[in-house]
Amino acid sequence: MIEGEAFDAADWELLAELRKRFLGGTAGSADYWSDRRTLELYDGFFAARIGWKWEAVLGELKRRGFRPGAGPLLDWGCGTGIAARCFLRAFPEAGGPVVLHDRSDAAMGFAAKRLAEEAGVGAEDIRRVRAVTVGDVEADTTVLLSHVLSELDDRAVDGVVDGLLRRSGAFIWVEPGTYAESRRLIALRARLLDAFRITGPCPHEGLCGLTAEGMERHWCHSFARPPVEAFTDPVWSAFSKALGIDLRSLPYAYLAMSRDKTVSASASASGETFARLLGRAREAPAGLSVLSCEATGVHERRVRTREAKGLVKALKKGRSGPFFRWNLREGRIVGGGAD
Ligand SMILES: C[S@@+](CC[C@H](N)C(=O)[O-])C[C@H]1O[C@@H](n2cnc3c(N)ncnc32)[C@H](O)[C@@H]1O
**How many Å apart are CA 277 and CA 300, to the nearest integer?**
10
Does the pLDDT value for residue 262 go beyond 60?
Answer: no
Does the pLDDT value for residue 2 go beyond 80?
Answer: no
Distances 310 to 117, 238, 315 between C-alpha atoms, Å: 44, 37, 9
Bridge partners for 299 per DSSP: 292
Helix and strand totals (H; E) in the chain: 10, 13
Please, what is the average pLDDT of the chain?
94
Which residue puts its alpha carbon closest to atom 9 of ligand 1? 47
Length of the chain (residues): 339
Distances 102 to 110, 112, 173, 289 between C-alpha atoms, Å: 11, 12, 15, 42
264 band by pLDDT with thresholds 50, 70 and 90: low
Closest CA to 42 of 96, 118, 106: 106
Instruction: Choose one of 98, 104, 148, 158 to mutate for the ligand 1 pocket test, by most ligand atoms within 8 angstroms of C-beta.
Output: 148
Which residue puts its alpha carbon closest to atom 13 of ligand 1? 77
The mean pLDDT of 215-238, rounded to a whole number, is 96
Does the pLDDT value for residue 269 go beyond 80?
Answer: no
- With a CB cutoff of 8 Å and minimum separation 6, the contacts of 293 are 202, 203, 204, 209, 210, 220, 275, 276, 277, 278
| Helices assigned H by DSSP within 98-228 | 105-119, 154-163, 179-192
The mean pLDDT of 155-160, rounded to a whole number, is 96
CB 311 within 8 A of CB 320: no
Lowest average pLDDT, out of 32-46, 180-194, 265-279, 316-330, goes to: 265-279
Q: With a 6 A CB cut-off, is 151 part of the ligand 1 pocket? A: yes
Instruction: Choose one of 102, 114, 181 to mutate for the ligand 1 pocket test, by most ligand atoms within 8 angstroms of C-beta.
Output: 102
pLDDT digits (tens, 9 = 90+) for 97-122: 999 999 999 999 999 999 999 988 99
**Domain residue limits, the chain:** 9-258, 273-338
Which residue puts its alpha carbon closest to atom 11 of ligand 1? 77
* Residue 81 alpha carbon to ligand 1 centre in Å: 10
Which residue puts its alpha carbon closest to atom 18 of ligand 1? 103
SS3 (DSSP) at 80: coil
Q: With a 6 A CB cut-off, is 109 part of the ligand 1 pocket? A: no
CB 139 within 8 A of CB 159: no
Does the pLDDT value for residue 263 go beyond 60?
Answer: no
**How many Å apart are CA 109 and CA 3, to the nearest integer?**
21
Q: With a 6 A CB cut-off, is 44 part of the ligand 1 pocket? A: no
Which residue puts its alpha carbon closest to atom 1 of ligand 1? 147
Instruction: Choose one of 50, 53, 103, 158 to mutate for the ligand 1 pocket test, by most ligand atoms within 8 angstroms of C-beta.
Output: 103
What CATH architecture does domain 9-258 belong to?
Answer: 3-Layer(aba) Sandwich (3.40)
Determine the pLDDT at residue 231. 95
How many CA atoms lie less than 13 Å away from 209 in the CB half-sphere?
21
Which residue puts its alpha carbon closest to atom 2 of ligand 1? 79
Q: With a 6 A CB cut-off, is 156 part of the ligand 1 pocket? A: yes
The mean pLDDT of 10-37, rounded to a whole number, is 92
Q: With a 6 A CB cut-off, is 102 part of the ligand 1 pocket? A: yes
- How many CB atoms are closer than 10 A to CB 317? 9
pLDDT digits (tens, 9 = 90+) for 50-99: 999 999 999 999 999 999 988 999 999 999 999 999 999 999 998 789 99
Global pTM value: 0.96
Determine the pLDDT at residue 160. 96
